Amino acid sequence: QVQLVESGGGLVQAGGSLRLSCAGSGSIFSINVAGWYRQAPGKQLELVADISDDGNTNSADSVKGRFTISRDNAKNTVYLQMNSLKPEDTGVYYCHAGVIGIRQAMGVTSLRRGHYWGQGTQVTVSS
């Protein structure tokens, strides 16, 4: 079963840094587009940054210059480096990715793209 497992969240003071990881596990052929979302307390889910399969990136205006999304295809892992953290960055961060999985059924091997979410990791920035 394909899964995305997140790690790296925690509690930091304003101005500090964290690096989030989103590691794909299971029968994965490749990861296509991937992104990080966050949900601040009392607010809606928002896109923070995303990255294409060829490394092209974009990010929300609120995090430009502070957050960097990257990927290591050999490890099926996507990262979010967060620097100069602010209290308003506090929230639950979720990884999302389009994954091409390897499926074997009835003696046939095939590839299928699915969309997966990580379990979420809490980021808390104190003032």
pLDDT tens by residue, 17-58: 999 999 999 999 999 999 999 999 999 999 999 999 889 999
What pLDDT shows up at residue 85? 98
User: Mean pLDDT throughout 80-93?
Assistant: 98
Tell me the percentage of the chain whose pLDDT exceeds 90. Answer: 91
Q: Is it the case that residue 1 has pLDDT exceeding 90?
A: no
Tell which residue, 20, 37, 12, 5, has the closest CA to residue 82: 20
User: Mean pLDDT throughout 9-23?
Assistant: 98
What pLDDT shows up at residue 65? 97
